[in-house]
Amino acid sequence: MASPAARDRVRRAARAVSDTSEPLTRPAAEALAKTLRLVADPTRLQLLSMINGSPGQEVTVGELTRHLGLRQPTISHHLRLMYEDGLLDREQRGRQVWYSIAKDRRDAIADLLR
């Protein structure tokens, strides 16, 4: 799981965006800007799209590597950044790590990818 601070940052940003009747506070704006910078990368958008569209909405690094044609360290780097920001969850099953979009972020990510 992502750190509590990262999860809190994402939740604050999501609340700030959903409540459009009030201007963003500085901390909410900074949290949202960090997340937007994170997903502004084309590779990360592709990764989110692949995870979102996969059966069960979860994939392994190996699956992503095969589909994108990028090396495993590159994929792992991008996944780690999104995990640390609270966009992704990960689960170790045996020798493989499965990534999925964090439950509290699925709707926002699906909207972003439309």
Residue type, 27: P
Residue holding tokens 């690094």? 61
pLDDT tens by residue, 72-97: 999 999 999 999 999 999 999 999 99
97: domain range? 4-113
Residue type, 80: R
Domain count, the chain: 1
Q: How far apart are CA 10 and CA 1, in angstroms?
A: 13
pLDDT tens by residue, 10-44: 565 565 555 567 898 999 888 888 888 999 999 99
**Looking at residue 63, which CATH number applies to its domain?**
1.10.10.10
Report residue 32 as tokens. Answer: 């949202």
- DSSP string for residues in the chain: ---HHHHHHHHHHHHHHH-TTSPPPHHHHHHHHHHHHHHTSHHHHHHHHHHHHSGGGEEEHHHHHHHHT--HHHHHHHHHHHHHTTSEEEEEETTEEEEEE-GGGHHHHHHHH-
Residue type, 45: L
CB 52 within 8 A of CB 82: no
pLDDT tens by residue, 48-78: 999 999 999 999 999 999 999 999 999 999 9
Report residue 45 as tokens. Answer: 């958008």
The pLDDT of residue 84: 94
Q: What percent of the chain has pLDDT over 90?
A: 57
Give pTM, 2 decimals.
0.75
The pLDDT of residue 108: 86
